[in-house]
Structures are given as C-alpha cells and as structure tokens.
Amino acid sequence: MNRLWTIMRKEFFHIWRDARTLGLILALPALLLLLLGYGISGESSDIKLAVADFSKSDSSRWYIDRFTSSNDFELAYDVQNEAALQDLIDRDIVDVGILIPEDFDRKLLRSEQASVQIYLDGSLQPTDSMTIQLKLNAISSSAAQDILVEKVTRAGLASSLNLPINGILKTLYNPDGDVQLYMIPGLVAIILQIQTLILAALAIVREREQGTMEQLIVTPVRSWELMLGKIIPYMVVSMFNLFMLVWLSDLMFGVKIAGSPWELVGLSFIFIVGSLGMGVLISNISQSQMQAIYLALFLVLIPAIILSGLMFSRENMPGFTYWYSELLPVTQYLEICRGIMLRGISAGTLWISSTLPMLILSVIYFVASVLVFRKRI
C-alpha cells in the first residue's frame, strides 16, 4: 500500500506542480462543453429563402407567408426570373428557392392543381438537407390541406367528412425535438473519453522519454501498483470534471438528470477506469508521446466521435464498423448517459445492452495494461 501511495503521490505532484497544465485539465472540458453545446443549435431556423413570384396575387402572397410566418424561413430575396433564383443558390447566398408560376392564382380559382417549383441546395449537410425537406413538404402540404378544407366547407360537405383513422402521436422524453437535449449527454461522454484517454496515454511514455522508467523498473513496485498509481490521480481529476460537466449541462442547457445521479456517477466511474486503462495500454506500447497521441487519436478518439452514436445511428453501419464501435467503452457509456439523463431509466434496464459490456471492457483494458507492462520490464 505504501508503494501504491508513493506512485500516486508522485503522479499528483507532476500534475500539481504544472499550474498551466492543471488549469487546462480542469477548465478545457467545461469550455469545450459550452463551445460545442452552443455550437449545436439543433434546429435549422432562419433559412435563407428566395422567391420568384410570377403570379403576384393574393394567393401567391398567402402561400409565401406560410413559409415565413415562423422562424424556419426568412425571405431574403425577391427575384424576377428562374435564372436569378438558381444563381443565388449557386453562390450559396440562399438555401431554398420558390418559383410560383403565373397561372398559380387562376388554377386555384378553377379548382385545378397548381404547381410550385421549390429548389433546395442539396450540397448542405445531409441531416440539415433532410430537415429542410421535411419542413418544406410539411408547410406546402399544410397549405394545400387548408385550401381543400376551405373548398369543402364552402360546398357544405365538411360535417359529413371524417378521417377513417385518427393517429395520436405522443413523443416521450424529448417532445419538443430539442437536439441540444439529445446531444449534451453525448458530449459529456465524448469529452470525458478525450480527456481520460489523452492524459493516460502520456503517463507511461512520458516516464520513458524522461528516462525515469528504468528507476521505476528496479524498484519493488508491482505492475498493478504502478498502473493503479498512474490511473488514480487522473481518475480524481476526471470525476471532478464529470461533476463540472453535469452541473454545466443543467445550468447552461437545462439538461437535468431524470434518473438516479448516483447510478450515473457509479457507471461513470467504471467508464473512466476503462478509458484510463485503455490510455495506459496505448502508453505502454508507444515509444514516444507522438506515437501515443497518434494511436489514441486514430484508433479511439476519431472512431469514438463518429461511430459511437453521437451523431449517426449505429443501426445501419456495416458489420465491421458496428463491432469495432462495440469495443469502445464510450459507445456503451453514451447510451447510459442518454438513458439515465434523458429517459430516467436505471442501470439494470441497460444491463445487457450497455452496463455489462462496459464493465467487461473496463476490466479487460485495465488488466491488459498491467500485463503489457509486465512483459516489458
């Protein structure tokens, strides 16, 4: 126990004596959460819209007002021809263009079908493009339904018409579709993954580059004591950052923990142990800090951001990609964060899908870091 405490005290001293690095370790995760949290607006609003209205009628103006009456679209340009409309889209000045033909009002008065050409910049980010498409279709369909209902009402048939099926939609947990509410728990997981992995990945290799590894090898310190002595100080720092990130999530973004905070803390502790163990494992097999950073970045961090489910669904990923992401503790931890913070479920509910796999991976990575170090001494 004295040997373990000596290693821990040495590592704490390394952290404490470098005030600038300590400040970065404590402050950067919080700053990153604020930066990314506010950077993710979550909803496409005030989308620049250009209109070429050849009809110049009350009906066409009413139709345009349906798009601009909310914060979804902003009428930025009123052009006179189709070429000018497409030019604005080509130059990335607007994202959407609407061309209303000259016979728009006339066809509506004759109860004929009036066609409206809507242009959308398909080079947008795919999720933004899909969201805008859904909004355009919804607003256009709503306008068409209002005109149809008005005609039916004038004909005196409204009382005899009823929809055969009334589907009642109830959205649970995030009824307003707030993307920030969905993304913030994921950002907490990713930020903790980045911090724990980088800090631990440099722990052993730094000793090797400074020439102090040989001194540690000749001491009676056991492998597990050295690994644990390296991990515990960073574990304390990471747990502090966990509380800071959760507090900021509530204070700045209104994301409260719907489930048990103690379960979240306990499972976060397991995740931090696994991530630190993975970082120490990378540190053990690296000859320099540059190698450690490259391995951490390309084997874990980039896949963690892209493949963990933070931004993209994992359900449609190819088999190799899907199972590679399963080997990353952050994949399971991200689901745990969203489950406890948003849905208010317990760890037992996610036992098979997330809790048990994360626990197994955490043990495996820590044991592997001990075994790899033992082979090198």
33 and 51 co-located in one domain: no
| Parent domain of 247 | 2-40+178-376
pLDDT at residue 163, as a whole number: 55
CATH number, domain containing residue 84: 3.40.1710.10
pLDDT at residue 345, as a whole number: 86
24 and 138 co-located in one domain: no
What pTM, to 2 d.p., does this model score? 0.77
The beta strands (E) that lie in 54-161 are given as 73-79, 96-100, 117-120
Distance CA 351, CA 273 (A): 18
193 and 252 co-located in one domain: yes
In a domain, 163, yes or no: no
Last residue of a domain, which of 86, 119, 154?
154
In a domain, 134, yes or no: yes
In a domain, 348, yes or no: yes
51 and 28 co-located in one domain: no
Q: 124: Cβ–Cβ under 8 A, 6 or more apart, which residues?
A: 95, 132
In a domain, 113, yes or no: yes
Mean pLDDT (the chain) is 81
Which has the higher per-residue pLDDT, 217 or 107? 107
- Which residue type does 176 have? D
Distance CA 118, CA 222 (A): 70
The beta strands (E) that lie in the chain are given as 47-53, 73-79, 96-100, 117-120
238 and 330 co-located in one domain: yes
* Residue in the structure block whose two tokens are 């993304």: 183
Which has the higher per-residue pLDDT, 214 or 116? 116
236 and 96 co-located in one domain: no
Last residue of a domain, which of 154, 188, 210?
154
pLDDT, tens only, 150-195? 776 766 655 555 555 556 667 777 777 777 888 899 999 999 999 8
In a domain, 53, yes or no: yes
Average pLDDT of span 106-130: 81
Last residue of a domain, which of 120, 154, 188?
154
Rounded to a whole number of angstroms, the distance between the first and last alpha carbons of the chain is: 21
Average pLDDT of span 236-241: 90
In a domain, 269, yes or no: yes
Which has the higher per-residue pLDDT, 234 or 213? 234
In a domain, 166, yes or no: no
pLDDT at residue 175, as a whole number: 75
- Tell me the pLDDT band of 33, cut-offs 50, 70 and 90: confident
Structurally, the chain folds into a number of domains equal to 2
- Which alpha helices (H) appear in 211-296, and where do they start and end? 213-217, 223-253, 261-285, 289-295
Give the up-direction half-sphere exposure of residue 329: CA atoms within 13 A in the CB hemisphere: 29
In a domain, 167, yes or no: no
Q: Residue 222 is encoded by which pair of tokens?
A: 């056991």
